Amino acid sequence: MKQLKDSDPTVIARETLRQLASLKITPTPDNYHKLYNQISGGAEGGANLVAVATVNPAVSMDNTAAESTPELKRKVVSLIANIEELSDTAGGYQLKLEQYSARIGKTDNIKELNQLLAQLMEEIKQMQKSMLDYHDDFLAACAEVCVVQDKTNQHESKLQEMDEEIHEDHLTGILNRHGLDSAFKRETSRSIRYGSPLCFALLDIDNFKQLNDMYGHKVGDDALVYLVESVKDTTRPEDVVSRYGGEEFVILLPNTSLEEATQILSRIRRNLTKKFFLHENKRLLITFSAGVAQLQADESQESIFKRADEAMYRAKQGGKNQIFMAE
């Protein structure tokens, strides 16, 4: 740890800020005060501060919420202005000290020398008072910046939670239609960038209305969750599973050909038929019909959905519990 004992307070303040940034320590008044004292050789040590920084680095200010950015910028600008004013003041005192030094060096008169020393001591006292005032202002500015930073971090967390709620289906925990739209744009861009295939599978639970009518909507909801769990057990981590609406689900299969996508859907179908959905110890067979389409050049989401939907319709018409490829 670099120490600047007996150095100019401005130099110490700058070095304190530099080391806070280097160690990734949040510039709270307490942290600044501890490190300032350590660098200046004060009584309070900062060794524990460095240890804490190693274990628990500060959160970057880059993650501030957009609505609080102007306030944060204003506080930081004020903080910088304080440092600049402190630097200007210290520079003025430095010039005065040089002038006193020159005058003292030229005089041989003891009376004049005593007068110069008295004036010099008064200037030094005034300088110390100014440094302490600016030091307190600096700590106050640091505290304000930290308060704003905490607020912006809280805002960002809330925005993240709101974004997840907007894009998530509350019943099944997978993406909803809004989430699918975002995922489709992302995966389409990736498919175009790398020249890799992307498949779009549309699933619809067979006889879902009869299931609801016979056993109630609670059982219908449980059946939807059951299907999603089976799909997630069979699909890969990179596959995107979403609930399009009602009993319809969409699976995006990146880097997957039409034949490979059909095989994945077949595994999901076999997995469902191997076990039964239980309701009051009664075994109920849950099946689905599906249509699978591979993304074509410059194809929109509406277009590929329509092709997958037409294939799914043919699977329904052909007896259900089937998977058809789109034309």
Query: What are the residue numbers of the active site?
Result: 247
Cβ atoms within 10 A of the Cβ of 45, count? 13
* Residue 27 contacts residue 17 (beta carbons within 8 Å): yes
Q: Taking Cα atoms as reference points, which of 78, 58, 79, 83 lies closest to residue 150?
A: 58
Residues 6 or more apart whose CB falls under 8 angstroms from that of 117 comprise 104
Q: Taking Cα atoms as reference points, which of 9, 18, 83 lies closest to residue 41?
A: 9
Q: Taking Cα atoms as reference points, which of 12, 158, 28 lies closest to residue 86?
A: 12
Please classify residue 95 by burial: count the beta carbons closer than 10 Å to its beta carbon, then call 0-12 exposed, 13-18 middle and 19+ buried: exposed
Q: Where are the alpha helices (DSSP H) in the chain?
A: 9-22, 29-40, 47-55, 69-106, 110-167, 177-194, 208-215, 217-234, 258-274, 301-317
């191997």: which residue's tokens? 274
Please classify residue 250 by burial: count the beta carbons closer than 10 Å to its beta carbon, then call 0-12 exposed, 13-18 middle and 19+ buried: buried
* Residue 290 contacts residue 312 (beta carbons within 8 Å): yes
Q: Which residues pair with 168 in a beta bridge?
A: 175
Q: Taking Cα atoms as reference points, which of 278, 285, 284, 209 lies closest to residue 247?
A: 209
Instruction: In whole angstroms, give the CA distance from residue 308 to residue 324.
Output: 9
Identify the H or E element spanning 203: strand 198-205
Instruction: In whole angstroms, give the CA distance from residue 235 to residue 251.
Output: 9
Q: φ, ψ for residue 297 (rounded to 5)?
A: -60, 130
